[in-house]
Chains A and B, each alone.
Chain A
Amino acid sequence: MQAPLIELTSITKRFPGMTALNNVDFSIEPAEIVCLAGENGSGKSTLIKVLSGIYRPEQGRLVFDGEEIATLSPREAIARGVQVIYQDFSLFPNLTVAENLALSRFLGEKRQLMNRAEARRIGQEALDRLGVSIDLEAEVGSLSTADRQLVAIARALMSPVRLLVMDEPTTALTGREIDRLFALVREIKAKGIAVLFVSHKMREMLEISERIVIFRNGRKVAEGSTADFTEGSITKAMTGQDIGGERYEGPASDAPIRLAVSGLSVPGRVEDVSFSLRSGEIVGLSGLLGSGRTELALALFGLSPDHGGRIEIDGHAIEAKDVNAAIDAGIAYVPEDRLSEGLFMTQSIARNINAGVIDRLSSGPFVDKTAFSQAAEDTVSSLRIATPGIEKAVGLLSGGNQQRVVIGRWLQTGPKVLILNGPTVGVDVGSKAEIHRQLRKLAVENGLAVLMISDDVPELIQNCNRILLMHRGRLIDEIQAVGVEEDDIHARLKGLD
């Protein structure tokens, strides 16, 4: 065994009211790819910040290259070769690629003046080292997420880096882009650089890493060679409970048809799509980004008034000409980006849950306070939203609980068809399983028809009766979830394009 590049021993970091890291050991060797897994709040981010010198642990030893460091400052961490690529990449959208690449070097050299020609040269070198070509004069804000990530990686590799930390690097990437990223990570490893991946996506952890370290509640709960882990054992270590493996049974095949769509088209986006959803059915909808799946959902929800075709709910044709018409007809839509589209972050849980049905909870011009609280309490308990009270601001909840608030709001409107776009994106594993359980329960008990748009293949297989595949605006396949393996669907998704 090689000498570790970095070795942390019995690290403890406390914040008021919580212990973020509790007596944690962690080490990484040169040219090793390690995956750091754990749910939100498990201490992953705190560990990164300790490694990069942003947080100072109360207790514990930091050893770099066999040399103990008393206090690690951010500057010292960088000097010792630790580079962190945060989820937001820390790039400047309003500056050019060349400037984004060169400025940190100029800063390091304590320059006072800016030299554009040299910035271009430095930028070109950095991109060449990665073997990618991106327009150096383009503003970073105009690049795709994948290209922005490449710029961030190129920038990190400009310094004499020995450990590259990537925080949730695959979140906004498509399958193809993830493959390209992984190839790049292996090249980086070949240069003798260690890579620490922080992720909560099982598949990727198993595919890219050599070793997996799992945190839960500020403690390291599992560690070992990737070959010794399965998705199940990772999940179990992360959550402390057995999750997954279950599949949704679905309703009887003669359940009434709730939603029938025929010949639906949105100019330039969706072409001639027909399908139907039975009461109690959960149907998945997948496809590459830009396949038209979101546009299809938006059309059903009345956000594409120029759509053509026929939409029926319980056998009655409806006109989805605007959102109100769609809601009245019984369609609910939980958007992709709950932060910007779904929730009032600074407002209370109760207000968020009841935001859509305030008329029903009012008598005359005044809100009926008892009914208002009751409705919120009922939703909180039936969806098992973890909160000390309904008056707490939604922004203080975890991602999974926020998502449940959005779903709870829609359930208030008494929908017949529930459309969810990426229902568990950014939600941690335990919370995700709970949301799935709730959705299945709603489908069975309330006879909802659920359309679930997702990229998460295990999620689709576990929860859906059928999975619809879209490509270039058309519905190209319908897969019965029973008996299907994840790899089949991955293969079919990758075969597109």
Chain B
Amino acid sequence: MRLPAFLHRSEAAVALVLLAAIVIIGAINPAFWQPDNIFNLVRANVVIGIMALAVLLVMISGGIDVSFPAFAAAAMYLTVIAMNHFGYQGVVLPFIAATLIGAFCGLLNAVFIHTFRMIPLIVTLGTASVVRGLLLGLVGTSIVNIDRMPQSLIGFGRSTVSIAGSQLTLMIFVYLGLAVLVWLFLTRTMLGRGLHAYGGDPESARRVGFPTRRIVYAVYIAAGALAGFAGLLHASMIWLANPRDFVGYELDVIAAVVLGGASIFGGRGSVLGTILGVALLVLIKNSLIILRVDNTWQSVVVGAVIVVATAVTALRDRRKAKAGS
């Protein structure tokens, strides 16, 4: 039997699993269908989703990034501290600042990875540790609580739209807007196609004439920028800035991206798949809470998701390679 073309795409598989998970969880616990619960789930997608877009870019290039949680924490905390220091109330400028801080950190990754030809995992482990260490050592360790959090950020983060008597966060549109931007970049720009080409075969990309240096720099800078932005958005959504935040996010986010069909060997991955992967991961983790599964078991589930999803994509890639030979 020949399946329709769209079902051959890995996004279709993730979408079907997501749908099945929703139906099953909804059947076990009808409270799932409450708008409040669904909107909460949507809200939980936002920050992880933006970070996943960052990781998606890096993974398509054939690299891996574990430094984005540290960059997010640094961008968020520095911006909030600076706002309090200057007594600044505003939204646009702080987000630009956080994005730039993230981009600068990403630039460091790019320098080491491209100029010194180092392995992305080692580089990003190192920069993550350095950035976190500097943040805690030089800037501070104290949490900025709701009473000291800039009101402008809180106001922005709590903006919602009322649907069926429940509040849906407007931040979801920020996330989806960024997703569209990343999608346009990946599919409609030469730099984006060059990124796929580079991830597929760096040597050939160089020979054909892609600006590989610019590609690598663009990827890590963009990833850092997205992480910085996500960091401040997170703080404004939970109304506090904790420099020790985002620990362990790397696993969740990478799991979501892999779940969305991106290949850890580079060259493959899509924005739609990533959005679905994030939704699935968030759904699973939150449902475990609803089902009163202990916290520690969540990490078992996330780890298992990474292993299984990677195995499935590896099988897919191997089948493709076999079909070709």
Q: Are A and B physically bound partners?
A: yes
Contact of B199 among A91, A94, A112 (CB under 8 A): A94
B325 near A145 with CB under 8 A, answer: yes
For A112, the chain B residues whose CB sits under 8 A away are: 189-191
Contact B208–A139 (Cβ < 8 Å): no
Contact A93/B200 with A114-B187, A141-B324 known, Cβ cut-off 8 Å: yes
Judge whether A107 and B190 touch: CB under 8 Å.
Answer: yes
Question: Bound state CA distance, A93 and B190, in angstroms?
Answer: 17
CB atoms of A92 and B191 under 8 A apart: no
A264 CB, nearest partner CB in chain B, Å: 25
Candidates B193, B205, B320; contact of A99 at CB < 8 Å = B193
Instruction: Tell me if B165 counts as interface (CB < 8 A to partner A).
Output: no
Please, how many angstroms separate the alpha-carbon atoms of A141 and B319 in the complex?
A: 10
**How many chain-A residues does the 8 Å CB contact rule pick out?**
25
A469 to chain B, nearest CB (A): 23
Choose among A92, A93, A99, A145 the residue with the greatest number of B CB atoms under 10 Å from its CB. A92
Q: Does A111 contact B (CB under 8 A)?
A: yes
Q: Which 6 A-B pairs have the closest CB atoms?
A: A94-B267, A90-B204, A94-B200, A92-B200, A92-B197, A107-B209
Q: How far is the CA of A95 from the CA of B195 in the complex (A)?
A: 11
Residues of A within 8 A of B192 (CB): 114
Q: List 14 A-B contacts (CB under 8 A).
A: A88-B204, A90-B207, A92-B200, A93-B321, A95-B200, A103-B194, A107-B194, A108-B209, A112-B190, A113-B188, A141-B324, A143-B324, A145-B325, A148-B324
Tell me whether A142 is interfacial, beta carbon within 8 Å.
yes
Q: Is the CB of A113 within 8 A of B209?
A: no
B-side contacts of A143, CB under 8 Å: 324
Tell me if A104 counts as interface (CB < 8 A to partner B): yes
Q: Is the CB of B197 within 8 A of A95?
A: yes
A319–B189 Cα gap in the complex (Å)? 59
Closest CB-CB distance, A455 to chain B, in whole Å? 16
Please pick, from A94, A95, A111, A142, the residue contacting B190 in the complex, using a CB distance under 8 A: A111
List residues of chain A with CB within 8 A of the CB of B321: 93, 141
How far is A91 from B197 in the complex, measured between Cα atoms in Å? 9
Quick one: closest A residue to B186, CB to CB? A114
Would B196 and A95 count as touching, CB distance under 8 A?
yes
Residues of B within 8 Å of A92, CB to CB, are: 196-197, 200-201, 204-205, 267
Question: B196 and A94: CB pair below 8 A?
Answer: yes
* In the bound complex, CA of A287 to CA of B157 (Å): 70
| Interface mask (B230-274 → A, CB under 8 Å = 1, otherwise 0) | 000000000000000000000000000000000000011000000
Q: Quick check: A104 and B208 within 8 Å, CB to CB?
A: yes
A59 at the binding interface (Cβ < 8 Å): no
In the complex, which residue of chain B has the Cβ closest to the Cβ of A112? B190
A225 to chain B, nearest CB (A): 33
A103 and B208 contact, CB distance less than 8 A:
yes
Q: In chain A, residues 84-121, which have Cβ atoms closer than 8 Å to a Cβ of chain B?
A: 86, 88, 90-95, 99, 103-104, 106-108, 111-114
Identify the B interface with A (CB < 8 A). 187-194, 196-197, 199-201, 203-205, 207-210, 267-268, 320-321, 323-325
Bound-state Cα–Cα, A21 to B200, Å: 33
Given pairs A88-B204, A141-B324, A142-B324, 4 additional interface contacts (CB within 8 A): A94-B268, A112-B190, A113-B189, A143-B324
Residue A230 at the chain B interface, CB threshold 8 Å: no
Contacts of B323 in A (CB 8 A): 142
Interface of B is mostly: helix
A90–B189 touching, CB < 8 Å: no
* Chain A positions within 8 Å of B196 at CB level: 92, 94-95
Report chain B residues within 8 Å CB of A113. 188-190
CA distance A86 to B189 in the complex (A): 27
What residues of chain A lie closer than 8 Å to B325, measured between beta carbons?
Answer: 144-145
Bound together, the chains give a CA A106 to CA B200 distance in angstroms of 18
- Separation of A104 and B324 alpha carbons in the complex (Å): 23
CB atoms of A103 and B203 under 8 A apart: no
CB-defined contacts of B204 to chain A, threshold 8 Å: 88, 90-92
Q: Chain B residue with minimal CB distance to A147?
A: B324
Residues of chain B within 8 A (CB-CB) of A139 are 320
Complex Cα–Cα for A106 and B190 (A): 8
| Partner pick for B324 among A86, A88, A95, A144, CB 8 A cutoff | A144
Task: List the B side residues contacting A144 at CB < 8 Å.
Answer: 324-325
B-facing residues in A170-210 (Cβ within 8 Å): none
- CB neighbours of B193 from chain A (8 A): 95, 99, 103, 114
| Chain B positions within 8 Å of A103 at CB level | 190, 193-194, 197, 208, 210
Among candidates A90, A106, A114, A142, residue contacting B201 with C-beta atoms closer than 8 Å: A90
Question: Smallest distance from the beta carbon of A255 to chain B beta carbons, Å?
Answer: 39
How far does the alpha carbon of A145 sit from the alpha carbon of B321 in the complex, in Å? 11
The residue of chain B having its C-beta at the shortest distance from the C-beta of A108 within the complex is B209
Residues of chain B within 8 A (CB-CB) of A86 are 207
Nearest to A75 among chain B residues (CB) is B209
Contacts of B208 in A (CB 8 A): 90, 103-104, 107
A130-158 vs B, CB cutoff 8 Å, 1 = contact: the mask equals: 00000000010111110010000000000
Chain A residues with CB under 8 Å of B188's CB are: 113-114
> What's the nearest-Cβ distance from chain A to residue B75, in Å?
28
Cα–Cα distance between A200 and B223 once the two chains are bound (Å): 47
